[in-house]
Structure 1
Amino acid sequence: MIPQLEILGRFDEGAALMPLPYPLALGRAGLSGFPSPAQDYEGRTLDLNERFIKKPAATFFLSVTGDSMIRLGIHEGDTLVVDRSIDPRPGHILVALVDGEITVKRYELRGDVPCLCSGNPRYAPIPLENLDCQVWGVVRSVIHEYMV
């Protein structure tokens, strides 16, 4: 099934910060006494915006359907964090408009030919010669939610 994408929206720079608890977990090379129980409550937080959004004005989110990128860790229902400010390079996963259709593929050079390649062997690479292709952005992160 060829992926179909739904634009979920742009990053809202005016949104309130929502820090989440993020305890510090350290590995120790050796034992040197009993650690303080207070270490578990040091008050560190994790802001997902700070972690995954590097250029807020250039960031948008997409929802994915289809299985063409499954071997690259992009599954049906995943949310992509896409950054328009990154210059695409071979190896990047791109969101592109190819001949009027939105697609998510890995950018590769096959010889001297730029191609958009799937993460599923059922789908052939798309050589970009003689095609109208507009890169919308580079996928920075994939959010995969487990059904529980």
Structure 2
Amino acid sequence: MLNHGGKRMGAGRKKGSGAFGEATKVVRIPESQVETVKLWLDNYKEHVSDASLEKLDAISGMLEEATTTLPLYSHKVAAGFPSPADDYIEARLDLNEKLAPNFNSTFLLKVQGESMRDAGIFDGDILVVDRSITPRSGKIVIAALDGELTVKRLAIRQDGTYLLPENPDFPEIPVHSESDMVIWGVVTSCIHQF
């Protein structure tokens, strides 16, 4: 019987035998970027010793957690009468998880104008918008209406669809059948700085 093809015992590259001395993983890289990745890896290996690589990996893991999370204290802040403070850290909060749980479908927009002031959205605020959420009546949405971008509360009524401001100085905007409206996403959060 001929022994051709198929997997053979002991064949192939040994685990950990590569330039970095660790297991490898197959990754798809655009052909135009292969040389760039190879050069980066060569440069990385050349300038960092094996002992430093382990330390660097540990440090980068700690830095990544420290730079992407903030401490969340367990004590609630009284909006009425003051209460004694408690400095116990309950957890570390990743703002990406809190503000953008659907990270790949989330984007930010800066607000211009005062039409949503009574909803707590002010000129200069930054809105967190999620494209993956289905726009429903009552939700605050980013809509492109006849080529104009606006943030308004969506209202779907028996008499039609409306974009509602949250400021009595601004009129309701009816969406007519001949209107060209595309909803970009649903507003999930507003970042307001003092």
Q: TM-score range by the shorter chain?
A: 0.7 to 0.9
Query: Under a length normalisation based on structure 1, what TM-score does the superposition of the two structures give?
Result: 0.74
Give the number of equivalent residue pairs: 119
> Superposition pairs for residues 1-148 of structure 1, below 5 Å?
16-17=64-65, 18-25=68-75, 40-42=87-89, 44-129=91-176, 130-146=178-194
Instruction: Choose between structure 1 and 2 for higher RCO, CA contacts under 8 A separated by at least 6 residues.
Output: 1
Unaligned runs of 5+ in 2: 1-63, 77-85
Larger strand percent: 1
Q: Deviations over 1:27-59 (max 9, x none)?
A: xxxxxxxxxxxx834562111111111211100
Contact persistence 2:72–2:89 (CA under 8 A): no
Unaligned runs of 5+ in 1: 1-15, 27-38
Query: Under a length normalisation based on structure 2, what TM-score does the superposition of the two structures give?
Result: 0.58
Q: Distance in 2 between matches of 1:127 and 1:41?
A: 51
CA RMSD of aligned residues (A): 1.7
Q: Distance in 1 between matches of 2:90 and 2:157?
A: 49
Q: Which has the larger radius of gyration?
A: 2
**Residue type of the alignment partner of 1:79:** I
